[in-house]
Structure 1
Amino acid sequence: MVQVRVVGAVVLAIVLGVAGGCGGSDPPPEATGTTAPGVSPSAPTATSAAPSAEPSGTAKMGRAPATATPTPKSGTSGSTGGKPGASNTGVPAGTKLKVVTGDQTYATSNQVISGLDIRGYVRITGKNVTLRNSIVRGGAKRCNSSSVISVSGSARIERTEIRPTNPNACLDGVRGGNITMVGVNIHGVVDGVKAGANVLIQDSYIHDLSFFASDPNQGGGETHNDAVQSFGDRNITLRHNTLSVGSQGNAAWQVTQDDGGTATNLRVENNWLDGGGCTLNFAHKGGPTPMTGIHVVGNRFGSSGFDCPILISTQTRLTTNSGNVFAANGKPIPAPAQHD
């Protein structure tokens, strides 16, 4: 489709106001892992239940308590130290997966779920739940289930692929706070992650987001897709990921400071970032306190973004802004653009 762009202050105003951007509409690629042949669908030991209705679109999540960003366990990410992509994220090659059909709720704290091909939506309500080496595909199209995986407890998600069978304009990848994600491959959704407080995303690959010309959450307009989106939440770190939203996208990370909280301790470290109007967008949309503690360090920016690498409001300052370059030539990116 042809994308019409408005230049100047109108573009910047739109970029600040949106909650997401546009991704590719191609169907998601085949899963990295392999499903065990001849396995009959069966439910895991976790409680099986349909997820309750979640707010859709740009609705805000409940604020999680302010705690330190979780630290990844050594040796479990599967990262080779290179650029995260299809070969080193998601289910490790050769992994045998057991098919599980239907929506799943994991309510038992400290449980580990591994080696599943889940044909339904996942809710994690227990504390310290680990989901690893699995594919989660979601279920039937419905706007009252706004994410393939939702977390209201706390979770670690590692070497897992999120690829909806039925992409739709209401469906995101992961939603919640108190989450560590390592080596995760997310595609085919509108927003990759709707991050609450205390979220670490590391060694992961968010790409090929699904674009829709009509989105009920945008008043019938186009979807506004982001690799990661957050509001007035704190303690969020994006470290060593590939986040690509393409030229139609809004942002690799859209932070919208609102009057419901204060965004602070936000870190973007050693990522490959590409696409959107402004690839990193720190927008102050209300409230008396500006965002603080924003650190943007050692990132490589692609050339698909059509306006600027970083956009901040006039009320916002970057605490640290160093080592950020264009991936193509290693030259430093320009100073952040500013607009209210």
Structure 2
Amino acid sequence: MRGLIKISAANVTIKNSIIRGRTMTGPGALINNLGGYSNLTITDTELFPTIASPHANGIYGYNFTATRLNIHNVIDGIHITGSNALIQKSWIHDHMHYLNDPNQGGSPSHDDSIQVQSGNNVKVIGNRLTDSHSAAVQITQDRGVVSNFVYTNNYANNGACTVNIAEKTYGPLKGTIITDNKFGRDTKVANCAVIAKTTTIIDFQRNYYTDNSIVTIKKG
């Protein structure tokens, strides 16, 4: 499909598709569910803009399940802006990165595989997340509280720190689980698979680097 998809109803299914986008003049996503329409399902689909752009992102929104997606050549793979999102068995990789990004005031792109801006019950399970310059998973709480975030059975690499949890004005996250993951060593900050403030209590178990050394949380 050439163009952008904007969800305007509940119970939409997208499957066995290739989403190529179009020319974009401002930030947007190949699939947009910012309205939060319930039960959006995206399965066995590739998101890959034909026209490279600092404006092109993969998915925006919430209330969706994403399974076996291949998302690449975008700035951010997925922006989660609310509750009830499941991302599983997907590959997000080869992010676009601009040294002079108009959406960052001319500074370099802040490309993330998954960015969580707010929401409860967000799950990231069994994915491969690579090649971002900022983070594989960036929790910002820019739009509101993030709670009951689950990150398990993933492989992730790159970024300044691969998983970056920021509290900002909303304070410590509650119900955060990070278990049974593998992390690469290719971060800009040494030994920084996961960074978070000590005030956010994390169920953190069985996380290892690819050299089988144990991952510890870096204090944010």
Report the TM-score, using the length of structure 1 for normalisation.
Answer: 0.61
1:187 lines up with 2:72 in the alignment: yes
Which structure is richer in relative contact order (CA contacts within 8 A, separation 6 or more)?
A: 1
1:316 aligns with 200
Equivalent in 45, 48, 58 of residue 163 of structure 1: 48
Aligned equivalent of 1:210, options 86, 91, 96: 96
Per-residue Cα deviation, 1:11-50 (whole angstroms, up to 9, x for no partner): xxxxxxxxxxxxxxxxxxxxxxxxxxxxxxxxxxxxxxxx
Q: Distance in 2 between matches of 1:193 and 1:148?
A: 10
How far, CA to CA, are the matches of 2:218 and 2:141 in structure 1?
17
Task: Name the Cα RMSD after superposition.
Answer: 1.3
1:244 counterpart = 2:130 = yes
CA distance in 2, matches of 1:137, 1:124: 16
Identical residues among aligned pairs (%): 34
Task: Tell whether the 8 Å contact from 2:80 to 2:118 is kept in structure 1 after alignment.
Answer: no
Q: Which of the two has higher C-alpha Rg? A: 1
Counterpart mapping for 1:292-331 below 5 A: 292-307=174-189, 308-318=192-202, 320-327=203-210, 329-331=211-213
> Shift of residue 331 of structure 1?
2.0
The 5 Å alignment of 1:3-82 reads none
Q: Give ranges in structure 2 of 5+ residues lacking alignment.
A: none
Could you report, residue by residue, the CA deviation over 1:286-315 in whole angstroms, capped at 9, with x for unpaired residues?
13x421111000000012112201000243
What's the secondary structure of 2:99's corresponding residue? coil
Match of 1:277 in 2: 160
Verify the 8 A CA contact 1:190 1:211 in the aligned structure 2: yes
2:32 aligned residue: 150
Q: Which residue of 2 aligns with 1:201?
A: 87
The alignment's TM-score, normalised by the length of structure 2, stands at: 0.93
1:167 deviates by 2.0
Q: How many residues align?
A: 214
Displacement of 1:338: 1.3
- Deviation >6 Å, runs of 4+: none
Counterparts of 1:315 and 1:256, CA distance in 2? 15
Q: CA deviation at 1:189?
A: 0.3
Q: CA deviation at 1:141?
A: 2.6
Asked whether the equivalents of residues 298 and 324 of structure 1 are also in contact (C-alpha less than 8 Å), the reply is yes
2:173 to 274, 285, 291: 291
Other-structure match for 1:123: 6
Unaligned segments of structure 1, at least 5 residues: 1-117
**Cα distance, 1:285 vs. partner?**
1.3
Q: Tell me the distance in 1 between the aligned counterparts of 2:114 and 2:106.
A: 22
Q: Secondary structure at the match of 1:257?
A: coil
Structure number with the higher strand fraction is 2
Is contact 1:136-1:163 (8 Å) kept? yes
